[in-house]
Amino acid sequence: MVPDPSKLLEIAQIENLLVGFYDTPEKDSFASFTEAGHCIFSGYQGWMKGESSCLSEQTAGNYGCPGAGYWNCNLSTVPQEMVAHYLAVDEGLKKSPGLNTATPQPQTLL
């Protein structure tokens, strides 16, 4: 059975295509690929046209945003403190760099 999100999308009034992340050694079935840009989300326009972005241990450094490699591939291309400073000071996404450096705690699902 193939999942059909159409009812959920209708209720939530979502009109954009869904974006998914897959962990697979076989990337050819996801072709064609949009070019890597300054951030993993720079591929959004390509995604809306049905293209894919490929992020792997080999390509994670191609993105200017180290967050994609860190959170999706567990790769650190720059120190976490530099990323935290960038997100807080340059991007303004957090009140202070310290809020970006907290280590996430694993959640226990019951």
Residue 40 lies in a domain: yes
Residue 42 lies in a domain: yes
Predicted TM-score (pTM) above 0.95: no
Residue 16 lies in a domain: no
Residue 50 lies in a domain: yes
Whether residue 88 contacts residue 95, with contact meaning beta carbons closer than 8 Å, is answered with yes
Residue 6 lies in a domain: no
Residue 25 lies in a domain: no
CB atoms within 10 A of CB 93: 11
Q: Residue-wise pLDDT tens for the chain (110 aa)? A: 677 889 999 999 998 888 887 778 888 888 888 876 777 788 888 888 888 888 776 666 665 666 777 777 777 777 777 777 777 777 777 677 666 555 555 455 44
Total structural domains within the chain: 1
Residue 59 lies in a domain: yes
